Structure 1
């Protein structure tokens, strides 16, 4: 599919947030598009409904055509946004492609409801960190204004002007040289073989991380199973809630090191994948630009197959992570001693899911290039 000509804005938000706001998020998108057209006499194509096949088709087409330099991605940030796997995946996907082309400005978040991890500058969450690094638009007070008030209308105008300025600046941006994965500060532009070698060197390290992650999950699962057995025995002795509480405290102490290790592994894994994502996408784009012969080169074919195998392996692991999520759900009703650990473990599991989204996008682009 060839992307529509002209500027486009893809809005990413949760439908529940829009329902709570009684449709104000969708109306904001329409108001900004109208103001953009009033300023430029050109239409801003707005894509709102992710359930519409045109949203997905146009999204992929623009990404695959190097974003065309005129594609804006506007995530509407709320606490609920970061609980949506779909919204998180969209941020990661767009951010990686935009960065690989030197077009970071095309990602323009709107901070719609305050999120402490962003406003206080404390992000262990990879997607939250990506948002915080952007010059987001603060709408946390404006969302409380009457939509027809001068203050609100002026804010809409200012945001539309900013979109125009961003598109003007990015229209002539050339893709940056592809930095080496292991040495992003290097001034030397690597050749194709060097880039492939660097990427391949990183893959075993990520695999090792995932192996340790799975092993740590297994340790936690065994501890939870033993704690459940202790609770059953305690109930049989008539120890009541006091017996259950003792077993829960014991479980918390036992799994604390594992939960902390999961947190470290999750942060390292997702942070590194996000960091190298633009470089890997750049490699794929370079192979695509050099044509069929580059895609058929032995080293390239080996690298692409390694990525595909890594993606397949990750999807298999998702089943274990789903079981782990079920375990966490079962722990959620236990004592407050479990709450900090729950947060660490849930965060780690989410970061692995985010990492898989990055790898799946690599595989998708490889399939596009080689089909």
Structure 2
């Protein structure tokens, strides 16, 4: 498999949505494969792509380094989790130019509390908030991937494939 995107999320958010984030990731992967015609493309998710016995930190780093896109799922939990922060920091260290930054596609899953404007605001959060996001907040309570959420996942796959070509 070839990793086209790295799905960065807080596991708590996946559990609190009854696995909806994992379902979104799986559907996105199949849509990317359909739009590209390349069955070997994958959207990396730790729970699906790290095997027993793998050195998980090395596997995460390799997946981030090998991904063409970075998809952070933005929630209040995301910025409080050290693993999520490390993943984002690793991606940002690798991709510094404005053109490369277009390969970060934040997925807003829950609204964030207002940002601190006193100058001590979290620099990672400020960076992500400066990037246009895909808004999935309306879908948090979905139990299936039918209807509008399915269309939005398909549109996201189409965006990834079109940006990959440029």
- TM-score band w.r.t. shorter chain: 0.7 to 0.9
Larger fraction in strand:
2
Instruction: State the partner residue of 1:34.
Output: 30
Larger fraction in helix:
1
Match 1:160 to one of 152, 157, 160: 157
Alpha-carbon separation, structure 2, partners of 1:94 and 1:159:
20
Residue 103 of structure 1: SS of its match in structure 2? Answer: helix
Alpha-carbon separation, structure 1, partners of 2:55 and 2:102:
24
Alpha-carbon separation, structure 1, partners of 2:162 and 2:3:
12
Q: Which structure has the larger Rg over C-alpha atoms?
A: 1
Q: Which has the higher contact order (CA 8 A, sep 6+)?
A: 2
Q: Is 1:22 paired with 2:23?
A: no
Gaps of 5+ in 2: none
Shift of 1:99: 1.1
Q: Is 1:132 paired with 2:129?
A: yes
Alpha-carbon separation, structure 1, partners of 2:63 and 2:10:
22
Shift of 1:79: 0.5
Match 2:69 to one of 64, 68, 72: 72
**CA displacement, residues 254-307 of structure 1 (integer Å, 9 cap, x when unaligned):** xxxxxxxxxxxxxxxxxxxxxxxxxxxxxxxxxxxxxxxxxxxxxxxxxxxxxx
Shift of 1:41: 1.2
Alpha-carbon separation, structure 1, partners of 2:121 and 2:104:
20
Q: TM-score, normalised by structure 2?
A: 0.81
Shift of 1:58: 4.6
Q: How many residues align?
A: 159
Residue 160 of structure 1: SS of its match in structure 2? Answer: helix
Q: TM-score, normalised by structure 1?
A: 0.39
- Kindly tell me: are residues 116 and 90 of structure 1, through their superposed partners in 2, closer, same or farther at Cα, counting changes over 3 Å? same
Gaps of 5+ in 1: 170-371
Shift of 1:140: 0.5
- Kindly tell me: are residues 8 and 59 of structure 1, through their superposed partners in 2, closer, same or farther at Cα, counting changes over 3 Å? farther
Instruction: State the partner residue of 1:88.
Output: 85
Instruction: State the partner residue of 1:251.
Output: none
Kept after mapping to 1: 8 A contact 2:5/2:44:
yes
- Kindly tell me: are residues 117 and 96 of structure 1, through their superposed partners in 2, closer, same or farther at Cα, counting changes over 3 Å? farther
Kept after mapping to 2: 8 A contact 1:146/1:152:
no
